[in-house]
Amino acid sequence: MKIVFASTPDQEEMIRELVKTFYRDVFPLYYSDKDIKEFENLKVLHTSTRHFEYFGTLKEAYQVISSLQTLISILQSRERQPKYKKIFEINAEFLKEFGLFFPFDYEHFLEERSMKDNVFSIYTKAANELLI
């Protein structure tokens, strides 16, 4: 008999929050709002009940969380090192194994859009809010 522990609602919420971080903090660094809207339409990193059944154990949920966190860390880093490419590929492949659509290679993130265009995105979190 093998005992496994199911993923918790907190883990599922953490995965959803990390996906939001991709859309709010990572993608705007590299892609235009039009591109990001297309990612939403293509359901890039989209999670559903079926996905949570896929990574339904504690171990698998933690692996998905750590893969998302690793990719976010690499992509938010200003420094590009050759070792990052292999780490990126391993984690991106892991997400794909669990049914998350992540159609990117490391090369898709080599040049930051914000550095060359100095453009703001509607996807980024506002630095402040106006209260009326």
**Tens of pLDDT along 98-107?**
889 999 999 9
* Across 55-59, 91-95, 127-131, least confident range: 127-131
Q: How many residues does the chain have?
A: 132
- Indicate left, alpha or beta for 128 from its phi (over 0: left) and psi (-120 to 50: alpha): beta
Per-residue pLDDT for 14 more than 90? yes
Number of domains in the chain: 1
In which band, very low, low, confident or very high, does the pLDDT at 127 lie, cut at 50, 70 and 90? Answer: low
Instruction: Give me the domain span that covers residue 95.
Output: 9-117
pLDDT at residue number 71: 97
Quick check: is 97 in a domain? yes
Q: What is the mean pLDDT of the chain?
A: 83
pLDDT at residue number 52: 59
Q: Measured between alpha carbons, how far is 5 from 70 in angstroms, rounded to an integer?
A: 24
Mean pLDDT of 56-84: 89
Quick check: is 132 in a domain? no
Residue 3: what residue type?
A: I
Handedness of CA 33, 38, 44, 47 (dihedral sign): positive
Quick check: is 79 in a domain? yes
pLDDT at residue number 58: 74
Q: Which tens digits make up the pLDDT trace of 19-48?
A: 999 999 999 999 999 999 999 999 999 987
Quick check: is 98 in a domain? yes
pLDDT at residue number 56: 63
Quick check: is 35 in a domain? yes
Q: Measured between alpha carbons, how far is 22 from 18 in angstroms, rounded to an integer?
A: 6
Per-residue pLDDT for 116 more than 50? no
